[in-house]
Amino acid sequence: MSNKVHVKTGDTVILRTGKYDYKFKNKDKDRLTGKVLEVSPKEGKVIVEGFNMITKHVKPTQMNQSGNIVRAEAPIYACKVQLVCPLCGKPTRVGHAVVDGKKQRQCKKCGKTFE
C-alpha cells in the first residue's frame, strides 16, 4: 500500500463507508463530511474535523487546576476518506493535470482543475 495522501490540509472530505469496518467513536451519521486539519504523509493518515473523536484527559496544570476532559480528533487512514470537489461539491477521485505549467488536481466528475 502506498503512503501517498491524496488530500491536503483545508480540503473537504467525505467518509467512505460500507466497504470498511472502520469503527468510529462518534456515531453521528450526519457528520460524514469534514475539513482536513492535518496530513501525515509518513503514516498515510489525516486528521479530519469532527471525524473519529476521542476523549482525552488533560492533567491538571498550573493554568488549569482541575484538569480537563477534551474531545479531539484522532488520525484516520487517508484511504478512508474521499475528496469532495470544491467546484462541483461531489465526492470524487482526483486526477492530475498541468494548467499553464502548474500542476493542478483535477476532479474526475466535473473535469475542472483546482490546486
Where do contacts with Zn ion occur on this chain (CB under 5 A)?
85, 87-88, 107, 109-110
CB of 20 to Zn ion, least distance (A): 24
DSSP result, 50-93: TSSEEEEEEPP-SSSTT-EEEEEEPPEEGGGEEEEPTTT--EE-
Complex with Zn ion: residue 41 or 95, whichever CB lies closer? 95
Minimum CB–partner distance for residue 19 and Zn ion (Å): 22
Other beta carbons within 10 Å of 44: 16
Question: Cβ closer to Zn ion: 28 or 115?
Answer: 115
The smaller minimum CB distance to Zn ion, of residues 16 and 109, is found at 109
Q: Where do we find the cell 470524487?
A: 92
Least spacing, CB of residue 86 vs Zn ion, in Å: 8
* In the complex, minimum distance from the CB of residue 59 to Zn ion, in angstroms, rounded to a whole number: 45
Question: Looking at beta carbons only, is 32 or 87 nearer to Zn ion?
Answer: 87
Encoded amino acid at 66, one letter: S
> Cβ contacts of residue 76 below 8 Å, gap of 6+?
22, 45, 46, 47, 48, 51, 52
